[in-house]
């Protein structure tokens, strides 16, 4: 299992292209299939992806399959959410955060709506 349903997977092989070189903010959900809080957070992450389609890319990185990527960003607990803007991490949340806190962490970094 490489990503939760409805969220695009990202791997070490396509990380630079999909996360660091992206033209819009990228939310990365670091997760594992055995992680109960990760499963609990999934609907909120999917909802953000749907609500901000076209303004925010959302991807999921399975830490069991991509331990090198997780280590590169010091992901020590799950779930961990990192928001990248212009290739740099600008926001980080760990644990099963409430959807409002997740939205609040990314709101200031999203481009304006048309």
Is 35 one of the catalytic residues? yes
The three-class DSSP label of residue 108 is coil
Is 38 one of the catalytic residues? yes
Q: How far apart are CA 62 and CA 45, in angstroms?
A: 14
Please pick, among 27, 28, 38, 81, the residue that the annotation labels catalytic. 38
Residue pair 101/91 in contact by the 8 Å Cβ criterion: no
Tokens of 104: 């609040």
DSSP 16-43: IIIIIS-SS-EEEEEE-TT-HHHHHHHH
Residue pair 63/75 in contact by the 8 Å Cβ criterion: yes
Please pick, among 10, 19, 27, 35, the residue that the annotation labels catalytic. 35
The three-class DSSP label of residue 105 is helix
Residues noted as catalytic: 35, 38
């Amino acid at each position: 299992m490489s990503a939760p349903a409805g969220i695009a997977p990202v791997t070490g092989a396509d990380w630079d292209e999909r996360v660091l070189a992206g033209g819009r903010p990228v939310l990365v959900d670091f997760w594992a299939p055995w992680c109960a809080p990760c499963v609990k957070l999934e609907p909120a992450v999917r909802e953000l992806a749907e609500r901000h389609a076209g303004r925010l890319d959302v991807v999921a990185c399975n830490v069991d399959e991509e331990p090198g990527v997780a280590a590169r960003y010091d992901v020590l607990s799950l779930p961990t959410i990192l928001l990248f803007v212009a290739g740099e991490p600008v926001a980080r949340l760990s644990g099963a955060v409430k959807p409002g806190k997740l939205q609040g962490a990314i709101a200031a970094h999203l481009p304006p709506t048309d």
